[in-house]
Amino acid sequence: MRRWESSATTTTSASGTTPKKETALQDDDKSGHISTGENESILFFDNLLPLKLMPLMLWRPWFTRRDLADVQKRFESYSKGLLDPVALVKRAIPENLPITITKIVPRLKDGGAFVKFTYPPDVSLSEIEGKVATALEEKPIKPWFNPFLGIKAGLVRGRPWLEDLYRFPKSRIRVEYVATNDSGSPPELSQETLYSIFRRYGKIADIATQPSDSKVLPKYAHVDFVLVRDAIMATNCMHGYVLHESGSKLATKLRLSYEQRIKPHHIWDWITSHPRIVIPIVAAFLAAFTVVVFDPIREFFVRAHVQHVFELTDSRLYKWFKRQTNDFLAFRKRKGEQAGLNALVTHRKDLIESVQNVLMESTATFVVIHGPRGSGKRELVVDQVLEGRKNVLVVDCKPVMDARGEAGTIKKLAAQVGYRPIFSWANNVSSMVDLAIQSTTGVKASFSENLESQVVKILQTTAAALRDVSLAEKKKIDPNETLSEDAFLEAHPERRAVVVVNNFLHKSDDKSLIYEKIADWAAALVQSNVAHVVFLTNDTSYSKSLSKSLPDRVFHQVTLGDLSPEAAKLFVTSQLELEDESKQKKGDKRQKRQKCDNGGKHDSHEVEETPVIERQNREDLRELDECIQTLGGRLTDLQVLTRRLRVGQSPKKAVGEIVEQSSAEILRMFLLAKNAGASDRKWSTQQAWYLVKELAQNETLKYNEVVLTDTFASSTTPGADGESALEALSDAELITVKSVHGRPQTVRAGKPVYQTAFSRLLKDPVVKAKMDLALLKELASVEAKSIEKAETELNILGNLPTKPYQTNERIHYLLTKLEGSQKKIMAYEEEMVGLKKVLSQNA
């Protein structure tokens, strides 16, 4: 259909005479009209192309005016193809019609074509039109896209306009009355006249004349056809038609155009014209719809998440299948891990019982489990304290705080509590809609929600679901409904759900709003007796955040430290013994198979195998006693040691590699100035090295003594003041700050293994010389600044017009301070010379 974009000129007769090629629109006027001469006329054929596809086809770049000689070729080589519009035109023209076709002008927008022809003088145009119409009635030609309506043909009585504007056919035609000259205004046509002119082209639905009081010029009337195809025929055949109405001396020229029929939409018009009223109503309706429809669904999913309804491991079928296949399928935890947990439980039995007792009491306060990373807080609470307890919700703050953007934060928080469906992407779209509405109407629609409102909404829905979970067994315990819901929750604390907030205050500087809302939500749960709340944190400043939510309550605090050497050894050996038992069983089975293969004879090597293993185990245990003292009782470090021992390493080698790895970690994270994130940290390299150096010599340092040293009190690094630096280093786990009665008292290594790592770093001459050199440079810089201030003040005092005696003591003080600072600088520089010599001599 691309070959129908403009007209093509031929001189092919219906009887098949020799054609003559011409260029497209060669005889047309520059105004876009088809001109006709003597004994020439035009026929319009409709329903050749589908109307629905024309808007898309007209925008294609290959619909431009160019020579269309291939139209002529297709017209010459007539075929009975149903998909070719040119073939449909030739089939529609009777072969015995005495006309000669001179031009074919396609009309893509109207789905038809103009056919220009010449005819003999003795043949009338009405006769030609009648023969074509009769042939199409007797043998209708129906295109492939419209099997119900056939092709129609009509004689063009006016002067068609070949415009290529972006206007498409409509069922309504606007008929304008235009004068043929400037002699005066043309007369208006009556409805009867219009009906007689246009009825031949199809059924007319209505004719509306111009109101009598209208001053719009030119005068016009509207003719509404039932079918769009009939309006197309009327427009293309009657445009430019000149009519001489009886009784009038002036002629009227008809100018036709399509017009969109305007339907009255009073309600829609009122809505679009009152955005300040409608937009808030729509926003309120959407909010109400969300609450009515989605909130019950979300509460259901939160309840299912808390009660573990959709978890396979909690189903009866799974438990039955597990019991039946327990002997040969590994559905259980590894025995080594279970044995390690049993050792951990034995060591912390008192702590577990104290937390369990709090959860059985009706105390409206928080339970806070505090301890360093790797101390086993989550294992203690989830796997031991809450073992076998139903209705437990674990909210891990780490993935929530690590999420990118508000949409990611909302998505992760919803996943932690089972809140679904969640449309995290919809808020971005709503923000764009808000911006567009506010910029156009000046009214803030408030379709989008900020992060705070969405977090509050998720937590409120979760609180409602937790209340339903805690009241789920009320009818069984209280069948007579003697207690109200609040009284039941207060009287039965064992029936309340338990909320465990893990990794509380993880990256607290990034999104403090999230922690504030979680703390307020947890306080509401505790005060309304809906659930018990347990916070797991390694941040020492947790009381500042939680006290804002519960200012009048005392928290039940449990502090987890490192395991004692005896418990740490028991933790490691309990897992290694089970590993040895499994190896021994495999060895016994292998020996039995070998006996069967040897006919029951014993092998001397087999007899020696077990004593060798026992001697090796005893030697490893003696090494383990020494290594536990070095490694300490941090649970994560003990697990690393156990994994290394399982693969065959000796305890000394395993601990040595762990210490070496820790030394490299300290050097990379705290001592190298160009490490990642060095520009944002709140401590300096010199402050970290001072602590490493001092803790390598003394296991405990006094907090206030460290703060008052020149390295912390007079640091040249911006933002690295003494107490802030110690707090930041404690959060980064280089050190641990111990408090007494709420105030910091002592400073220790962040991990037990760090104590040994500090000593190893101090024994490295290159690291020690490099770090001491940086420390001395900063101290010298501090003293140089002190000298500069003293010199500035002495200069001011020396420039006074008179030298009062009252300044003598101040001048003496400044000179003494200047002398002391200069002596320190000289001592520092002398020491720096030796350090530079060490660096130059060592690679």
Q: pLDDT, tens digit, for every residue of 359-400?
A: 888 878 889 988 887 777 888 888 888 888 888 999 999 999
- Please give the pLDDT value at position 375: 77
695-710 pLDDT per residue, tens: 999 989 999 999 999 8
Q: How many CB atoms lie within 10 A of CB 811?
A: 14
Pair 519, 379 in one domain: yes
Question: Which CATH number goes with the domain that contains 709?
Answer: 1.10.10.10
- Please give the pLDDT value at position 87: 79
Pair 512, 444 in one domain: yes
Structurally, the chain folds into a number of domains equal to 5
Let me know if residue 842 belongs to a domain.
yes
Pair 66, 136 in one domain: yes
Q: Are 28 and 7 in contact (CB under 8 A)?
A: yes
**235: confidence class by pLDDT, cuts 50, 70, 90:** very high
Pair 580, 671 in one domain: no
Higher pLDDT, 577 or 682: 682
**200: confidence class by pLDDT, cuts 50, 70, 90:** very high
Helices (H), 667-764: 685-697, 703-707, 710-713, 722-731, 752-763
Pair 770, 756 in one domain: no
% pLDDT > 70, the chain: 77
Residue 555 burial (10 A CB sphere; 0-12, 13-18, 19+): middle
Pair 759, 770 in one domain: no
Higher pLDDT, 388 or 207: 207
For residue 701, what are the β-bridge partners?
Answer: 747
Higher pLDDT, 716 or 440: 716
- Please give the pLDDT value at position 610: 41
Alpha-carbon distance 449 to 407, whole Å?
11
**822: confidence class by pLDDT, cuts 50, 70, 90:** very high
Range 790-816 average pLDDT? 86
Range 706-716 average pLDDT? 87
Range 249-268 average pLDDT? 83
Let me know if residue 44 belongs to a domain.
yes
Alpha-carbon distance 107 to 49, whole Å?
9
- Please give the pLDDT value at position 22: 36
Rounded to two decimals, the pTM is: 0.59
- Please give the pLDDT value at position 618: 47
Range 24-30 average pLDDT? 45
- Please give the pLDDT value at position 48: 86
Looking up tokens 């990034």 gives 510
Answer whether residue 82 shows pLDDT above 80: no
- Please give the pLDDT value at position 318: 64
| Listed range (237-241, 598-602, 740-744) with the worst mean pLDDT | 598-602
- 99 phi and psi, to 5 degrees? -135, 160
- Please give the pLDDT value at position 55: 60
Answer whether residue 353 shows pLDDT above 90: no
- Please give the pLDDT value at position 590: 54
- Please give the pLDDT value at position 571: 76
- Please give the pLDDT value at position 552: 82
Pair 588, 454 in one domain: no
- Please give the pLDDT value at position 336: 47
Q: Which residues have C-beta within 8 Å of that of residue 762, sequence separation ≥ 6?
A: 692, 693, 696, 697, 768
Alpha-carbon distance 550 to 527, whole Å?
9
Range 209-213 average pLDDT? 88
Higher pLDDT, 242 or 72: 242
Pair 437, 577 in one domain: no
Distance in Å from the first CA to the final CA of the chain: 81
How far is the CA of 780 from the CAs of 64, 684, 776, 785, in angstroms? 83, 16, 6, 9
Let me know if residue 268 belongs to a domain.
no
- End residue of a domain, out of 605, 624, 649: 649
Range 800-807 average pLDDT? 81
Let me know if residue 465 belongs to a domain.
yes
Give the three-class secondary structure for 420: coil
**334: confidence class by pLDDT, cuts 50, 70, 90:** very low
**64: confidence class by pLDDT, cuts 50, 70, 90:** very low
**232: confidence class by pLDDT, cuts 50, 70, 90:** very high
**541: confidence class by pLDDT, cuts 50, 70, 90:** confident
Let me know if residue 54 belongs to a domain.
yes
Most confidently modeled range among 342-351, 484-493, 582-591, 641-650: 484-493
Which of 493, 517, 515, 519 is closest to 506 using CA atoms?
515
Range 271-278 average pLDDT? 78
Range 823-843 average pLDDT? 87
**69: confidence class by pLDDT, cuts 50, 70, 90:** very low
654-691 pLDDT per residue, tens: 888 888 888 898 988 888 755 444 556 788 889 999 99
- Please give the pLDDT value at position 364: 80
Helices (H), 93-245: 125-138, 191-198, 228-238
Residue 658 burial (10 A CB sphere; 0-12, 13-18, 19+): buried
Pair 553, 600 in one domain: no
Mean pLDDT, the chain, whole residue set: 79
How far is the CA of 83 from the CAs of 33, 141, 146, 703, in angstroms? 28, 12, 12, 93
Range 397-419 average pLDDT? 89
Alpha-carbon distance 681 to 677, whole Å?
7
- End residue of a domain, out of 626, 649, 672: 649
- Please give the pLDDT value at position 479: 81
- Please give the pLDDT value at position 725: 87
Pair 414, 478 in one domain: yes
| Listed range (56-70, 127-141, 669-683) with the worst mean pLDDT | 56-70
**491: confidence class by pLDDT, cuts 50, 70, 90:** confident
Alpha-carbon distance 46 to 44, whole Å?
6
* Long-range Cβ pairs for the range 491-494 (8 Å, 24+): 491/362, 493/359, 493/360, 493/361, 493/362, 493/529, 493/532, 494/359, 494/360
Let me know if residue 118 belongs to a domain.
yes
**107: confidence class by pLDDT, cuts 50, 70, 90:** confident
Q: What is the domain extent for residue 637?
A: 565-649
Peptide bond before residue 218 is cis, with ω within 30 degrees of 0: yes
Let me know if residue 285 belongs to a domain.
no
- End residue of a domain, out of 616, 649, 682: 649
Alpha-carbon distance 152 to 113, whole Å?
11
Pair 352, 312 in one domain: yes
Which of 406, 366, 394 is closest to 513 using CA atoms?
406
Helices (H), 471-564: 474-477, 485-491, 512-527, 542-549
Answer whether residue 619 shows pLDDT above 50: yes
Alpha-carbon distance 437 to 431, whole Å?
10
Pair 502, 644 in one domain: no
Most confidently modeled range among 82-96, 424-438, 591-605: 82-96
492-527 pLDDT per residue, tens: 888 899 999 998 988 777 678 899 999 999 999 999
Let me know if residue 584 belongs to a domain.
yes
Answer whether residue 101 shows pLDDT above 50: yes
